[in-house]
Amino acid sequence: MLEQISELVKQFGKQAVVENPDVPDDQNNAVLAEATSTIAGGMQNMLAGGGLEDIISMFTGKNQGQNSRGGGIGGLLKNPVVVMMVGHLISKLVSKFRMNPSQASNVANNLVPNVLNELVTRTNSTAPSDSNFDFNDLIGSLTGGTATGPTGGGINLNGILEQLTKGGNGSTGGPDLQDIISQVTQGAQQKQQQAATNEGGLMDLIKGFFN
């Protein structure tokens, strides 16, 4: 799923970054990689902090009183997870790429919500063309597969997401939601610890998509 996220960043980054005169051409790929890292890393940090329900709410729009598609761009802009990501990217663009705050804000606010809205829409979609966008795979890519099993089949997160999107309570007759949150949290934490030990992590993987 990291590759799918990077492709969405490239798609929406064409106007927000590549065609933006405020971003030097030789920094385009680095800025796009930073945006991808912000989105994927932000979700991983949320999972490591026990925030699976916050990620689920982003995909269902529950915290905006919506029941599907995450409430659209407007709903996402009110989501604290998204607000955190936008703020983080603005900070990175100012500190690493020497953009002024106004330019950085323009890039982050045009890129992050659009990418996430498309990610939510295509993950919730049943169209064959969107089959590569899978909630189990997304969470698995951020937890090293620990939470969802080696093939994403350990926990039916897709079932939980579907139930909540349709207005249910998320019960699938399987493990308790709190147990699932615990497993996901531990998986994300282990993934981060491994990255710290190996001096690698999401950014190393992401850079490969922008070479």
Q: Residue 65, Cβ neighbours under 10 Å: how many?
A: 8
149: left (phi over 0), alpha (psi -120 to 50) or beta: left
pLDDT for residue 160:
64
| 62/54 Cα distance (integer angstroms) | 9
Predicted pLDDT of residue 203: 82
pLDDT of the residue at 157: 75
DSSP state of 71: G
From the CB of residue 164, how many other CB atoms can be counted at a distance below 10 Å? 21
CA atoms of 202 and 44, how far apart (whole Å) = 9
* pLDDT on residue 180: 83
Return the domain boundaries, the chain.
Answer: 2-210
Distance from the Cα of residue 101 to its chain's centroid: 23
Which mean pLDDT values do the consecutive 10-residue runs of the chain (211 residues) have?
94 97 96 96 93 87 47 78 95 96 97 95 93 91 64 58 57 64 89 75 84 79
Nearest-CA neighbor of 188 among 145, 155, 152?
A: 145
What is the reported pLDDT for 152?
A: 42
Phi, psi of 181 (to 5 degrees): -60, -45
Check residue 67 and give its pLDDT.
38
The pLDDT value recorded for residue 87 is 97
